[in-house]
Amino acid sequence: MTIPTRQLGKTDLELPVLSFGASSLGAEFRSFQLDECFASVRAALELGMNLIDTSPYYGRGMSEVLLGIALKDVPREDYILCTKLGRYDCNHFDFSAKRVEESVDVSLHRLRTDHLDIILCHDIEFVPLDQVIEETIPTLRKIQQSGKVRYIGVSGYPMKIFQRIANESDVDCILSYNQYTLQNTRLVDDVVPVAKAKGIGLMNAGPFAARLLTNAPLPEWHKDSAEVQQAARNAAKYCQKHGVDIAQLALQFSCDHPDLATTVAGSANPDNVRKWADWLSQPIDKSLLGDVLEILKPVHNISHTEGLPENN
């Protein structure tokens, strides 16, 4: 199958509607064998998931290093590379101009490439946005002129940060996670109108909402309320009764929206990557989708806070 593509805002990038997220290559969620992780990257590229999204935060550099190895024999024009800067550990953030310049060079070195297609300021809700707007983004625009970076943007969780960035700064794209799913559509509800008006491309990540919309047990760090978790479990059981994995419906739903250039999902297991591509090749069950959205309606758009209070 060929994964369809969509243009990212006003850029010349055509992104696959499903992209490969490499956070799992930083052993963020479990340990893995190296050959397994390399096979995942290969499977993603073979299936047309040629946007690869990473960050120096994932595995504190390990994801970028392993990607550099996995991609070393792949022609550079065969993949689109997105990495991030500004977040380096759970509580270590640095969006200063000096660190921005260093971070770009370190990522290029780890990823064994001479340019990044997209670079994002990572999880900006954890810092005062004034610095990102006045210092970080202008520094990235300067770096862009050198050819090291093609397009720049921001990533994070609360919708408020994207509205401010769109209105007060100059970015090419935005990446949001867990905010366009079966349970939460705030990325489209709150950000699409302002982003489209400015020609800012939108990328979505986390179609499974940190396993909420799967049959897997939730990780200890999961932040959604007990009410949201229970509704998701009810929806998963309903899908199971109809012979469908809720994760399939979740993936199809997130990848379907025409205003979102791509949805990023990650796994260090190549079988998962192949399964996702297979799910995307199948038509979405509209009747089941309607029923599931009805089950989730009482918790629709309920999310949690991330970062500084003023950014939520």
Domain segments of the chain as ranges: 5-208+253-283
- Residue 26 is predicted with a pLDDT of 81
Q: Provide the 8-state DSSP code for 284.
A: P
CA pair distance 45, 190, nearest whole angstrom: 32
Which pair of tokens denotes residue 37? 């992780």
- Residue 34 is predicted with a pLDDT of 86
- Residue 32 is predicted with a pLDDT of 72
Contacts of 96 (CB under 8 A, 6+ apart): 131, 135, 136
- Residue 230 is predicted with a pLDDT of 97
The answer to whether residues 82 and 262 touch, using CB atoms and an 8 Å cutoff, is: no
Residue 58 annotated as catalytic: yes
In the three-class reduction of DSSP (H, G, I as helix; E, B as strand; rest coil), residue 16 is classed as strand
- Residue 273 is predicted with a pLDDT of 97
The answer to whether residues 263 and 19 touch, using CB atoms and an 8 Å cutoff, is: yes
Task: State the pairing for strand pair 149-156/173-177.
Answer: parallel
Residue carrying the six token digits 């047309």: 48
- Residue 221 is predicted with a pLDDT of 87
- Residue 29 is predicted with a pLDDT of 63
- Residue 30 is predicted with a pLDDT of 64
pLDDT tens across the length of the chain (312 residues): 689 999 999 999 999 999 999 998 886 666 778 888 899 999 999 999 999 999 999 999 999 999 999 999 999 999 999 999 999 999 999 999 999 999 999 999 999 999 999 999 999 999 999 999 999 999 999 999 999 999 999 999 999 999 999 999 999 999 999 999 999 999 999 999 999 999 999 999 999 999 999 999 998 889 999 999 999 999 999 999 999 999 999 999 999 999 999 999 999 899 999 999 999 999 999 999 999 999 999 999 999 999 999 999
User: Out of 57, 58, 88, 151, which one is annotated catalytic?
Assistant: 58
* CA dist 169 → 101, 161, 198, 308 (Å): 19, 11, 11, 19
Smallest Cα–Cα separation from 57: which of 97, 32, 27?
Answer: 27
Looking at the domain covering 5-208+253-283, what would its CATH class be?
alpha beta
